[in-house]
A and B are shown apart, each in its own frame.
Chain A
């Protein structure tokens, strides 16, 4: 069964360093989502792509976070510089159609980031 792939699964870094996370959605899925989940809370959308275009990045802290999906397939989320408050699980999800109400979102295993 096709799955959303993410790497690394775990990342420990020191504050002020740069980190990058990678996501490969299910083949053929046009929509890709990056979520941040702080321990004990539900996920929060950071950025949504439709193919290579950003649909929603209203909750992305653009002073330090960036995301790209250059060829409309896999995606990279970067944080520079990392801060202590960035420690969280970063989840990637994909769906076939745009809009969460038209199709199920499939989630990857996540990248757990710890900033020391």
Chain B
């Protein structure tokens, strides 16, 4: 079993819908990252969380350390949000990121 599991693996929605992508992990962590990967491969860091909630524009990320779960929300989704969203955790005591398999999001106009 992977240490980091994301759901769903694929998500298709209509423009304007509220989007939720989930990430669960099975190990103790120091921090959790949400990343966005565009077609062609480029990766952009969206959030780094160790507790609570962060918001940037239409993106909101939350983490529940006790439940070992994080969610990424997108409000008023737009076709330009179409990308692969990747959750990655920094394992306690280690200095490297372990990545989930990614969630492919497609927003149709």
Task: Tell me the A residues contacting B by CB distance below 8 Å.
Answer: 37, 40-45, 48, 55-56, 89, 91, 93, 98-101, 104-110, 112
Contact = CB atoms under 8 A, between A and B. Distances in A.
B88 interface: yes
A-B pairs, top 4 by smallest CB distance, nearest first, are: A42-B99, A110-B41, A107-B43, A101-B31
A60 to B, nearest CB: 12
Contact of A42 (B40, B41, B88): B88
A76 to B, nearest CB: 19
B91 to A, nearest CB: 10
A10 B40 CA distance: 10
A43 B101 CA distance: 8
Residue picked from B33, B96, B101, most chain A C-beta under 10 Å = B96
Majority-rule SS of B interface residues: strand
25 contacts: A40-B101, A41-B102, A42-B4, A42-B86, A42-B100, A43-B43, A44-B99, A45-B97, A55-B95, A56-B95, A89-B41, A91-B43, A99-B90, A99-B95, A100-B33, A100-B96, A101-B50, A105-B45, A107-B42, A107-B43, A107-B44, A108-B42, A110-B40, A110-B41, A112-B41
Nearest to A56: B96
Interface string B30-69: 1101010000111111001010000000000000000000
B2 to A, nearest CB: 9
A105 B33 CA distance: 10
Contacts of B95: 48, 55-56, 98-101
Interface in B1-52: 4, 30-31, 33, 35, 40-45, 48, 50
A104 to B, nearest CB: 5
Contacts of B102: 40-42
Given A42-B102, A100-B95, 4 more contacts: A42-B99, A89-B41, A105-B45, A109-B41
A40 B44 CA distance: 17
